[in-house]
Amino acid sequence: MPGDFDFRVLTAEVRQHMLAEIDQDIADGVLVTSKRFTDEGAAGYPPLLRSAGSENDEAWLAERLIGSFNATELSGGKIKDVPHNAHILFAQGEFNRFYCRALCLFALANPGYSIRVYRARQSKKPRRESEAKLGKILDAATVLKDLRDHLATDVEFGPNEINSGLSLELVLNANTL
């Protein structure tokens, strides 16, 4: 089952960088888990994320997370149903975040490349802020630091506005053409 995202550079080398970032977050005890996870969902998430990073995609991860979320949550002092697509949004956001971190590492290790924001998932109502980021060339070191420092939140310099559908792609630097 193909995912909604078009990850343009999901190569073996990029996947290695993804796994290194996932493993580092696990080792540091900062891997983001959903506050909506059941206890079993939280415990089962890290190996599923590793498998998604090593050989699958965000759609595979979302499918495996079905049943990992509580049915209800306390929000604004009231008990509400957890959105039916919580597993999809969470899987897409976290897989994309690690993918972007991996592309930053790739660009830093390969100075002939830069990173650029693109729309990886189509949106019926794209936000003006998201549209303004499309096509921008970003500094890989700055974006990587931002993505590492701002877990589970929107970032200042990167493409990862939550649920925006934006991601990163690699582009050859003009001086290498």
pLDDT tens for residues 56-99?
999 999 999 999 999 999 999 999 999 999 999 999 999 999 99
Helix (H), strand (E), coil (C) string for 34-86:
CCCECHHHHHHHHHHHHHHHHHCCHHHHHHHCCCCECCEEEECCEEEECCCCH
pLDDT tens for residues 15-39?
999 999 999 999 999 999 999 999 9
- Single pTM value for the model: 0.91
pLDDT tens for residues 122-160?
877 777 777 788 889 999 999 999 999 988 776 766 666
